[in-house]
Amino acid sequence: MSSSSSSVPKQPLSGWGRYPLVDSYLQRPEKVSSLTKIIQTAENKPVLARGAGRSYGDAAICPSCTIITERLNRMLAFDEESGILACETGVTIKEIVEIFSPRGWFLAVTPGTKFVTVGGAIAFDVHGKNHYRDGSFSRHVCNLKLMLASGEVVQCSSQENSDLFWATVGGMGLTGIIMEVEIALRPIQTAYIKAKSIKAKNLDETLALFEEYEPQYQYSVAWIDCLASGQSLGRSRLSFGSHAAIADLNQEQQAAPLKLKPKPSCKVPFDFPAGLLNRYTMSCFNAFYYHRQRSWQVQSVVDYDSFFYPLDFLRDWNRLYGKRGFIQYQCVFPTEVSREALVRVLQLCAQKGWGTFLAVLKRLGSQEGWLSFPTPGFTLALDMPIKPGLERFLVQLDRLVIEYGGRVYLAKDARLSPEAFRSMYPHFLRWLEVKSQIDPYNRFSSAMSKRLQIESAKERIKV
Amino acid sequence: MKEAVLVVGATSSIARSLASKMGQQGTALHLAARDRFEVERIAKDIAIRYQVPVSWSIFDALDRDSHADLLQKALDHLDRLDGVAVFLGELGNQEKAQREFDCAEQIIHSNYTGVASILTHAANYLEKQRHGFIICLSSVAGDRGRQSNYVYGAAKGALSLFLQGLRNRLAKSNVRVLTVKPGFVDTKMTFGKSGMFLMAKPEQVASAVIRALQKNKLVVYVPWFWFWIMLIIRSIPEFLFKRLSL
Ligand SMILES: Cc1cc2nc3c(=O)[nH]c(=O)nc-3n(C[C@H](O)[C@H](O)[C@H](O)COP(=O)(O)OP(=O)(O)OC[C@H]3O[C@@H](n4cnc5c(N)ncnc54)[C@H](O)[C@@H]3O)c2cc1C
Ligand SMILES: NC(=O)c1ccc[n+]([C@@H]2O[C@H](COP(=O)([O-])OP(=O)(O)OC[C@H]3O[C@@H](n4cnc5c(N)ncnc54)[C@H](OP(=O)(O)O)[C@@H]3O)[C@@H](O)[C@H]2O)c1
């Protein structure tokens, strides 16, 4: 794969977890016509779109030609009546919320960081803290335009070319390049969230509180101290919230209910030494976080940034895990077995000391995309630094996830096996049929798709 | 009433960034570029984000007869004109330009003759109304001729001199002329090219230009340290310089 039009050397590329690092040729078109040209002249070289590189593993890397979409970020139309925004897919969540929240509109679904692109949000069909109610990102996509391997652009939606649509949302960039989308924003009265924070002593209490408060709030999430064990196994801080009405705000906030003052952010200036985030520092941090909130319940009105994107205040926080990087292991368990499965995962973590910072627990509902991650149940995300023994531990977790009929989120993955992937994603074959039709020669390919052996049937016959 | 500005070469990402920042301040804009499809998208983007009037038209630096029209079109859309910002430029292929003068000529037209033509129309209009500003992108490459890009550098050097003279002429008419000399900027002009260092982002350049305009600067290097780098490079005696491989 050494032939490239320019003399520029390959550059090492990774995801947010900084593992793995793969040398890749980069392109960064600033015009639609340049993108078409790249696709049409790259002959048979594999290509792939890359958004903000906020997926954790190897999903957004293609060694022969990774196409960065950041400069294709034009907003093309906005309907003030319906709140429908047409834009190119390099537009970020940050741009959308910053431009439209002062005008009374917000995204219906947002992930936990605003530094991702619309393209990335669709290609992994991302979920927010309201999946249970509102579905994932694709549910609010009215239609999208996809550039196929031929350079031809096809429009699709849940109504039109729907097979292509359900293969593309959650399709990890492997069906083509999503060029433009129309997404429906949701009206808000204020830029604030009426939030309730509750502490739970253990897992049963945590799950019971989800049941109790979910009907009253739009958003819910829990941070579990996964290093706590015994009686405290699964102790957590739950956070619920709903978009605040004007009446919920204090006087100062009411003066400009949709405007937020810019807040300073800080940056991790260098790579931390690898061993710094270890079991002891982590459990201290987790205990501190858990006990910091003194009373069992706190009610407050917070701005949307603090509620949805708490980590964005610390830029480059992935450097805390050192040069070797880290893995975020996010899995979901079906509702019926959630409790049992979570107990086993948390026990394993506490025993082996593998869970690190607070683990995030969210509720998911059902989702239509064929490779979309969400399925009804509870999802847990654990951050773990790369070090010897990790893979053995994760394989154990994989087995447990498969045993309970769950799955691992590929947006966070860097090491799952092809077999494990196939047992977790039952609609894969259906997806593969569409892929084989529109991209028989696997022009769209990534380090992840190679690893998981996600390839068109025709190609496999040919080899 | 809010300002109105004509941006020429609007498909440059530095231009887009500057236009966005001006739009954010409420400035009405007319964008001109040769790529119809792209300039329309950029116009829509700025209009949606900042809720200001943004119109556009097609323009080719090499088609000099059309340059008077461009100013008229901008005026038709904007009703007034407070400033003209020109981002035209083409790095070109130095090696090819050495072999084929047609190629060199094209570089000279895109970076100098075509730009000078548009600047002449803009200057005449602003001089008459006795108010306004001109921003024009030259380059540090115009500060000293180097074997690796002297055709581009010479055109930019000529442009810098042209702007200097224009500034002198327009001073008495209350029209400001700002010469911008960027170092390396991370745009499609430089993407993937080897030998780039101290790369600035287009937004950084745009912010520096706005600041320079507010402070009534005349010539600005962006980022600022290029002033010092070029001071050193210019001070190397020619008999030594000719031996360097720069
Ligand atoms: C701090 C943090 C919090 C997160 N929280 C959540 C969360 O709450 N919920 C959730 O679901 N996810 C979450 N994520 C994961 C993140 O939302 C997804 O990985 C998302 O895909 C990242 O988008 P990106 O623009 O960075 O895409 P990249 O990482 O660059 O790419 C991701 C995939 O999208 C494809 N792609 C990108 N652009 C296009 C395009 N234009 N056309 C076709 N394919 C394209 C790429 O090929 C790749 O397969 C979080 C990530 C971080 C770092
Ligand atoms: N990037 C750097 O490192 C750097 C350094 C110093 C100075 N500069 C100067 O900064 C300015 C902006 O450059 P950039 O980096 O943003 O690169 P760019 O994207 O290539 O911008 C150049 C602009 O000039 C236009 N153009 C070129 N020839 C033209 C012609 N004949 N007719 C009409 N339009 C023409 C281009 O149009 P198309 O989009 O249609 O090509 C584009 O809008 C240029 O003057 C450049 O010389 C850049």
Partners of B49 on chain A (C-beta within 8 Å) are: 75, 95, 99
Mean pLDDT computed over every residue of chain B:
97
Q: What's the rounded Cα separation, in Å, for the pair A420 and A394?
A: 12
Q: Are strands A236-243 and A219-224 parallel, antiparallel or unpaired?
A: antiparallel
Provide the pLDDT confidence category of residue A1 given band limits of 50, 70 and 90: very low
Q: Give me the CATH topology for the region A192-418.
A: Alpha-Beta Plaits (3.30.70)
In this predicted structure, the answer to whether residue A279 has a pLDDT above a threshold of 90 is no
Collapse the DSSP code of A450 into the 3-class scheme (helix H, G, I; strand E, B; otherwise coil) and give the result: helix
Mean pLDDT computed over every residue of chain A:
93
- Residues in B whose CB is inside 8 Å of some CB of A read 11, 13, 35, 37-38, 41-42, 44-45, 48-49, 187-188, 191-194
Q: What's the rounded Cα separation, in Å, for the pair A423 and A442?
A: 22
The residue written with tokens 């050494």 in the block is: A2
In this predicted structure, the answer to whether residue A121 has a pLDDT above a threshold of 70 is yes
The tens digit of pLDDT for each residue in B136-188 reads 999 999 999 999 999 999 999 999 999 999 999 999 999 999 999 999 999 99
The residue written with tokens 């074959």 in the block is: A429
Percentage of residues in chain A with pLDDT exceeding 90?
82
CB pairs under 8 A between A and B: 48
Provide the pLDDT confidence category of residue A463 given band limits of 50, 70 and 90: very low
The residue written with tokens 């074997």 in the block is: B147
Burial (Cβ within 10 Å: 0-12, 13-18, ≥19) of residue A213: middle
Provide the pLDDT confidence category of residue B193 given band limits of 50, 70 and 90: confident
In angstroms, how far apart are the furthest CA atoms of chain B?
56
| Spatial CB neighbours of A107, under 8 Å, sequence gap ≥ 6 | A93, A96, A97, A140, A183, A185, A186
Q: Which atom of ligand 2 is nearest to the CA of B35?
A: 40
Contact (CB<8Å) B37/A32: yes
Which of B13, B46, B50, B188 is the best substitution to test chain A (most A C-beta atoms within 10 A)?
B188
Report the chain B residue with the minimal C-alpha distance to residue A97: B49
Q: Which atom of ligand 1 is nearest to the CA of A15?
A: 29
| Spatial CB neighbours of A98, under 8 Å, sequence gap ≥ 6 | none
pLDDT for A4 equals 35
The tens digit of pLDDT for each residue in A196-206 reads 999 999 999 99
Going from N- to C-terminal start, the domains of chain B cover: 4-241
Please, what sign has the CA dihedral across residues A405, A411, A413, A417? Answer: positive
In this predicted structure, the answer to whether residue A144 has a pLDDT above a threshold of 50 is yes
ipTM of the complex: 0.96
Percentage of residues in chain A with pLDDT exceeding 70?
97
H or E segment and range at residue A361 = strand A359-364
Collapse the DSSP code of A111 into the 3-class scheme (helix H, G, I; strand E, B; otherwise coil) and give the result: coil
A266 φ, ψ (degrees, to nearest 5): -125, 170
Contact (CB<8Å) B45/A74: yes
Give the residue whose CA is nearest to atom 10 of ligand 1: A126
Contact (CB<8Å) B188/A34: yes
Distance A281 CA to ligand 1 centre (A): 29
Considering only the beta carbons, identify the residue of B13, B45, B192 that sits closest to A30.
Answer: B13
In this predicted structure, the answer to whether residue A459 has a pLDDT above a threshold of 70 is no
Distance B159 CA to ligand 2 centre (A): 14
The model carries a pTM of 0.96
Do the Cβ atoms of A253 and A191 come closer than 8 Å? no
Going from N- to C-terminal start, the domains of chain A cover: 192-418
In CATH terms, the superfamily for domain B4-241 is: NAD(P)-binding Rossmann-like Domain (3.40.50.720)
For residues B195-217, give the mean pLDDT: 95
For residues A401-408, give the mean pLDDT: 98
**Ligand 2 binding site (Cβ under 6 Å of any ligand atom):** B 9, 11-14, 33-35, 60-62, 87-90, 110, 114, 137, 139, 182, 184-185, 187-190
Distance B187 CA to ligand 2 centre (A): 9
In the chain, the amino acid numbered B154 is: A
H or E segment and range at residue A27 = strand A26-27
pLDDT for A7 equals 57
Q: CB atoms < 10 A from the CB of A43, how many? A: 7
Considering only the beta carbons, identify the residue of B37, B44, B191 that sits closest to A77.
Answer: B44
Give the residue whose CA is nearest to atom 17 of ligand 2: B189
Of A13, A67, A65, which is closest to residue A44 (Cα–Cα)? A65
Do the Cβ atoms of A134 and A374 come closer than 8 Å? no
For residues B17-45, give the mean pLDDT: 98
Which of A72, A74, A94, A185 is the best substitution to test chain B (most B C-beta atoms within 10 A)?
A74
Comparing A50-59, A168-177, A332-341, B188-197, which segment has the lowest mean pLDDT? Answer: B188-197
Of B148, B63, B62, which is closest to residue B111 (Cα–Cα)? B62
Do the Cβ atoms of A115 and A322 come closer than 8 Å? no
Provide the pLDDT confidence category of residue B246 given band limits of 50, 70 and 90: confident
Contact (CB<8Å) B188/A7: no
Considering only the beta carbons, identify the residue of B41, B187, B192 that sits closest to A76.
Answer: B41
Contact (CB<8Å) B44/A74: yes
